[in-house]
Amino acid sequence: MKNNKLSYFLSIPSLIVIISVFVVYRMLNGHNVKVIEPRSLIYIPEGSSYRMALDSVEAHLSIKNIKVLEWVAEKKHYPTLIKPGRYVFDRNLSYLELINILRSGRQTPVKITFHNVRTLNELAGKAGGRIEADSSEILAFLLDPGNYSSDGFTRENVISVFIPDTYEFFWNTSAKGFYSRMLKEYRKFWNDDRLAKAKEENLDQVEVAILASIIDDEVAKPDEKPRIAGVYLNRLRRGIPLQACPTIKFALNDFTITRVLKKYLEVDSPYNTYRHNGFPPGPIGCPTVEGIDAVLNAEKHDYLFFAAKADFSGYHNFSRTLAEHNRYAALYQKELNKRRIFR
């Protein structure tokens, strides 16, 4: 009888311990952190303190007991392991799960897509706000050649580094980090095959990018790009000015122009390829992969001129002589007049 009583009294503390362990386990591992919207976003900027990080957590997640969360954070040494970034939560979490994610820096990347970008200002606008660096910081970085001259680029041609596509970045990316990542992608893009083709055409990577950017703006039909690339290469080899209308629009900083008038051809700019032989100082936009590959795989022919077809199909007539070209150009000008397109 005594043994039974002793076992009974001994089992009470054991039961209390078991219950306590269970309560603590549920408290730490239960879903006590709840998303407020279908998903909650927490931004922790570079240089954030523990208090700042915790304030961001409280502002965007519903915490059942903040004291317990802070206790878990202390035990996991989170106050000394703050990882900046953008964290996306689309399900409820335990205190342990939340702190483990934050202390490990397991953030959710952001996607940046850019196409049809003509200037560094436009490029900065596409990336700024998507990452921690804003557009003014990115633009300031790109306008200072001291940041990338050692990589072989100038302010005029650094835009060639940015190959249009969709890229993933961690949110806590600086302006320098943005450039460095794109430089890495640029070097990966310029593989041995592309470098060999550029060498065959006696062009460097920037020169390919310049021609590609002109062709991208000039050509509406992708299947024509290699042929027009061939025209420009023929003109360069013969010392004939490129006479590319898109460079005039760039020089005037007016991309609404639909008809390049004679008065526009007098603009005093190194980008005026009617007045200056050879390449302009840099690309007139981010060159596309399609444009670059058109230059590297340019069609071999003896055309020196092209003019838009008067049927407005987006295609061009190609000519070997100026007289033939002028006839095609006159037909197109006539159609512009007919459609009352004067600018």
What does DSSP assign to residue 12? Answer: H
Q: pTM for this one?
A: 0.84
Q: Are residues 330 and 305 in the same domain?
A: yes
Residue that finishes a domain, picked among 84, 104, 124:
104
Asked if 116 and 87 sit in the same domain, the reply is no
* The pLDDT of residue 228: 97
Residue 259: the pLDDT is: 80
Q: What is the pLDDT of residue 340?
A: 76
In a domain, residue 6? The reply is: no
Q: How far apart are CA 215 and CA 231, in angstroms?
A: 11
pLDDT at 23: 45
Q: How many domains does the chain have?
A: 3
**Residue 65 is assigned to a structural domain of this protein:** yes
* Residues 243 and 274: beta-carbon distance below 8 Å: yes
10-residue mean pLDDT series, the chain (343 residues): 54 50 50 86 93 93 92 94 94 93 93 93 93 96 97 97 96 96 97 97 97 94 96 97 95 88 92 96 96 97 93 92 92 84 67
DSSP string, 96-127: HHHHHHHHHT-PPPEEEEE-S--SHHHHHHHH
Tell me: do 130 and 89 sit in the same domain: no
For residue 213, being part of any structural domain is answered with yes
User: Do 151 and 84 share a structural domain?
Assistant: no
* Within a domain: 343: no
Say yes or no: 98 and 114 in one domain. Answer: no
Same domain, 92 and 149: no
Domain boundary among 189, 216, 250: 189
Query: What distance in Å separates the CA atoms of residue 155 and residue 149, rounded to the nearest whole number?
Result: 9
Same domain, 201 and 330: yes
Last residue of a domain, one of 104, 139, 163: 104
Same domain? For 137 and 204 the reply is: no
Q: What tokens appear for 97 in the block? A: 């799960």
Residue 44 lies in a domain: yes
| 39 found inside a domain | yes
Instruction: Tell me the residue range of the domain where 153 lies.
Output: 110-189
Residues 88 and 196 occupy one common structural domain: no
Residue 43 shares a structural domain with residue 129: no
pLDDT computed for residue 27 by the predictor = 54
Specify whether 24 is located in the same domain as 42: yes
pLDDT of residue 20: 43
